[in-house]
Amino acid sequence: MSGVFKAVMGRAIIWLPYLWLLIFFLAPFFLVAKLSVSQTAIAQPPYLPVLTMGEGLSGWWADFKTFAFDNYAFLATDSLYWKGYLSSLQIAFISTLLTLVIGYPLAYGMARAPRTMRPLLLMLVILPFWTSFLIRVYAWIGILKKEGLLNQFLLWLGLISEPLTVLNTDVAVYIGIVYSYLPFMVLPLYANLERQDGTLLEAASDLGCNRFSAFWQITWPLSRPGVIAGCFLVFIPAVGEFVIPSLLGGSSTLMIGRILFDEFFLNRDWPISSAVAVLLLLILIVPIMLFQRSEARAREMAKGVGP
């Protein structure tokens, strides 16, 4: 009896994460997917059909027959959407490169700092997370606006004679994204660089390699898993970013997260915005899967299992 119980419990523990995914990921996703094939309606909620238990399976079947891909067809007809997707991918891509360029030296410096200093430096990277993300983005408005800190500082230095327009431009969006996602780049890079065996560099030096060359031949290739992890951790959420473009970006800053928000809250067109969300997920599935694969390969490498 207790053996059966143990077996059941063992299974349950294995299934628990799946159950979690089912409730908090798969079920909401199906709701959104269902919404995306529904029709807009002036009603509460603002779409049809609404799934109810009242009419049983036959009622569901009747509803199912009304599902259509009109909303997706509409996304294709209006250039706003595909321009939004492309612009989001572009902004996310450039932001990811910028985070890498800034984050790599930062992580490198941290990993090469005296051992006793490292926990402090790590703490400083994580510290911003203690404040609300929204408040930190708002703070950038104060810095970037016409009479903000940045312009005051540049005027005081005499580098500019009149205030620059930074806020409500793409530049402000880049600044916001790079600032917000920098820790996601630095942390995996630091974890990788800190673990690297220092004697490898000594060996390279011993074999006639100067420091610069040793970095490109040893440190950089060995840090590839960290670079890939950091880039995906920045790129994937940055594509769907909504808060930063809507607070810091201008009216011309096109990002899909913002379009989604507008469709949902301003147009109250839930089916269209759901279609936008589903398409975004499909676009991101490719990089997400690439990320998963490289993570799996990095784990295998760490275990010492060769190809």
114 makes contact with other proteins (CB under 8 A):
no
Q: Which is nearer to other proteins, 54 or 306 (CB)?
A: 306
Q: Which is nearer to other proteins, 164 or 200 (CB)?
A: 200
208 makes contact with other proteins (CB under 8 A):
yes
Which span (34-42, 70-78, 153-161, 213-221) binds other proteins, by CB under 8 A? 213-221
Closest CA to 169 of 256, 102, 254: 254
What's the rounded Cα separation, in Å, for the pair 67 and 33? 11
Show the binding pattern over residues 169-198: x = contacts other proteins (CB under 8 A), - = does not: ----------------------------x-
CB of 270 to other proteins, least distance (A): 50
306 makes contact with other proteins (CB under 8 A):
yes
Residue 40 region by backbone torsions, left for phi larger than 0, else alpha for psi between -120 and 50, else beta: beta
205 makes contact with other proteins (CB under 8 A):
yes
117, 203, 290, 296: which one binds other proteins (CB under 8 A): 203
Cβ atoms of 181 and 229 within 8 Å: the answer is: no
Give the pair of three-digit tokens for residue 86. 């492309």
137 makes contact with other proteins (CB under 8 A):
no
What's the rounded Cα separation, in Å, for the pair 99 and 175? 10
Q: What is the full DSSP assignment across 70-109? A: HHHHHHHH-HHHHHHHHHHHHHHHHHHHHHHHHHHHHHHH
Cα angle at 180 between 294 and 242, to 5 degrees?
90
Q: What is the DSSP letter of 131?
A: S
CB of 125 to other proteins, least distance (A): 27
The size of the interface with other proteins (CB under 8 A), counted in residues, is 20
Binding site for other proteins (CB under 8 A): 197, 199-200, 202-210, 213, 217-218, 221-222, 301, 304, 306
